[in-house]
Structure 1
Amino acid sequence: MNKPEQRVLIALRKMIAAGELAAGERVFEVTVAQQLEVSRTPVRLAFRTLEQEGLLVQHGGRGYQVRQVSAEDVAGAVQVRGVLEGLAARQAAERGLSAVDLEVLEDCLARGDALFTKGHLTDEDLQAYDELNLRFHRVIVAASGNPAIAQALARLAHLPFASVAALMADSHDLAGEYRRFNFSHMQHHAIVDALANREATRAEALMSEHANATLRYARMFTQASERTRPR
């Protein structure tokens, strides 16, 4: 995924969750491109991805509109992902990580450390974290040796914010995002420690809790609906 598309994706997810783009609202390539100061190409690609994630639906065969999504929809999907990824971590710990998998996970930790050591984040850092976070989760799922988990997660990815790839961040509050993502990265360290030491129960609990941190997105939908509810 190119960086302009990734930036557009992150911004649009946040706008939908926060109610800045309301359920049923039409979205147009030209308007979004102008608002985010990018060309139409990354917007077009982002729209397609958001359709796959269940956040946009096609409107009359042309263009897209924002799908109606509730906090309960998001929470339910995220909780299921937490169970699946927790199971993947448990089974990976029971099997034991290969040297290659451990090396990849430790590389993810090192790259994350480099991002957070300077004490602040940039938009480019958020995009870099998105990439290493996706890599981190995929390695653990593969290390479980259970293809059914990957298949179930792939089906789940079509539900709003259920995919680990569905990163959402607020570029206007990078200080707050630094705290949130730094905490997430510290969870990565704990998960790798549990996996490397073959502590299956601990790895499962940590991974499930890590996934459930995305329930913050469900709270955003609740807050957005309360703001737009007629008085």
Structure 2
Amino acid sequence: MSKPGQRVLIALRKMIASGELAAGERIGEIATAELLQVSRTPVRIAFRTLEQEGLLVKSAGRGFTVRAVNANEIAGAVEVRGVLEGLAARLTAERGLAPSIKNALYECLQQGDHLFEKGYVVEDDLRLYHDLNMRFHQLIIEASDNPAITDALARNDHLPFASVSALAVDLNDLTREFRRFNFAHMQHHAIVDALVHGQGARAESLMREHANATLRYASIFSPTQLDPAGLKIIYRE
């Protein structure tokens, strides 16, 4: 997806999660493009993606409406993803990493290390992290060699904020975003260590923890947020 498209997706996810775009509210291409100062093309693509993610519903007429989402629905979908990805990690560890998968995972770690070594992030860094994070998760799913996991994740990804690709960030607080994504990257290192050493149970536990970290540790990344448990803003790693 293009850089403008990623920016539109990130902005709309955050607006929906925070309630700035309320449940049931209709949104259209022209108004959204003007609001975000982009052309209609990235907005149109973003709307389709958000529909697939379960955040927008196509209106009877033209445009889309924001789907009503509650905290329990989000937490349940993320928990299911953690279980499925945890199973994939355990199977991968027990089967043993193929050299090509191991090298690709190490490459993801090296890219992340380079991204965070300067001690801060900018908007382009978050876009790059989004891509390498998706690649990291996909590698583990593929290495599990279990089509049922892939199919189950595909269905779960249609629930709001369940997909690993559903990344929402706060561009107004990049210091917090650095802490949050650097923490997630350190979890990647631990997961790869478990996979390389064939530690199935540890890999499964770490992967489940990784999926749920956003829900469980909201106060670490946003200590001043009034109600982190209420999931007023959701971020997907």
Residue 172 of structure 2 is matched in structure 1 by: 172
Quote the Cα distance in structure 1 between the aligned partners of 2:182 and 2:232. 25
Quote the Cα distance in structure 2 between the aligned partners of 1:143 and 1:61. 43
Quote the Cα distance in structure 1 between the aligned partners of 2:158 and 2:74. 11
Answer yes or no: is the 8 Å Cα contact 1:17–1:217 preserved in 2: no
Quote the Cα distance in structure 1 between the aligned partners of 2:14 and 2:208. 23
**Structure with bigger RCO (C-alpha 8 Å, 6+ apart):** 1
Answer yes or no: is the 8 Å Cα contact 1:10–1:169 preserved in 2: yes
Residue 230 of structure 2 is matched in structure 1 by: 222
Q: What TM-score do you get using the length of structure 2 for normalisation? A: 0.91
Answer yes or no: is the 8 Å Cα contact 1:17–1:220 preserved in 2: no
Letter in 1 for 2:112: G
Alignment deviations for residues 18-62 of structure 1 (CA, whole Å, 9 cap, x no partner)? 111110111121222122221111011000000010000011131
CA drift at 1:210: 0.3
Residue 5 of structure 1 is matched in structure 2 by: 5
Check 1:217–1:158 CA distance in 2 against 1; reply closer, same or farther (3 A cut).
farther
CA RMSD of aligned residues (A): 1.7
Quote the Cα distance in structure 2 between the aligned partners of 1:172 and 1:35. 17
Letter in 1 for 2:178: Y
Quote the Cα distance in structure 2 between the aligned partners of 1:208 and 1:6. 26
Answer yes or no: is the 8 Å Cα contact 2:92–2:140 preserved in 1: yes
1:30 lines up with 2:67 in the alignment: no
In the alignment, structure 1 segments of 5+ residues that lack a partner are: 226-231
Letter in 1 for 2:70: S
Residue 200 of structure 1 is matched in structure 2 by: 200
In the alignment, structure 2 segments of 5+ residues that lack a partner are: 219-226
Check 1:220–1:26 CA distance in 2 against 1; reply closer, same or farther (3 A cut).
farther
CA drift at 1:222: 2.6
Residue 40 of structure 2 is matched in structure 1 by: 40
Alignment deviations for residues 86-127 of structure 1 (CA, whole Å, 9 cap, x no partner)? 000000000001000001000000111111011111111111
Residue 221 of structure 2 is matched in structure 1 by: none
Answer yes or no: is the 8 Å Cα contact 1:18–1:221 preserved in 2: no
Taking the TM superposition and a 5 Å limit, the aligned residue runs for 1:131-150 are 131-150=131-150
Alignment deviations for residues 108-153 of structure 1 (CA, whole Å, 9 cap, x no partner)? 0011111101111111111100000000000001111111101100
Residue 101 of structure 1 is matched in structure 2 by: 101
Quote the Cα distance in structure 2 between the aligned partners of 1:116 and 1:30. 37
Quote the Cα distance in structure 2 between the aligned partners of 1:216 and 1:140. 23
Quote the Cα distance in structure 2 between the aligned partners of 1:217 and 1:20. 23
Check 1:217–1:11 CA distance in 2 against 1; reply closer, same or farther (3 A cut).
farther
Quote the Cα distance in structure 2 between the aligned partners of 1:160 and 1:60. 21
Answer yes or no: is the 8 Å Cα contact 1:19–1:221 preserved in 2: no
Residue 113 of structure 1 is matched in structure 2 by: 113
Answer yes or no: is the 8 Å Cα contact 1:70–1:221 preserved in 2: no
Answer yes or no: is the 8 Å Cα contact 2:187–2:210 preserved in 1: yes
Residue 228 of structure 1 is matched in structure 2 by: none
Quote the Cα distance in structure 2 between the aligned partners of 1:65 and 1:33. 16
Check 1:217–1:75 CA distance in 2 against 1; reply closer, same or farther (3 A cut).
farther
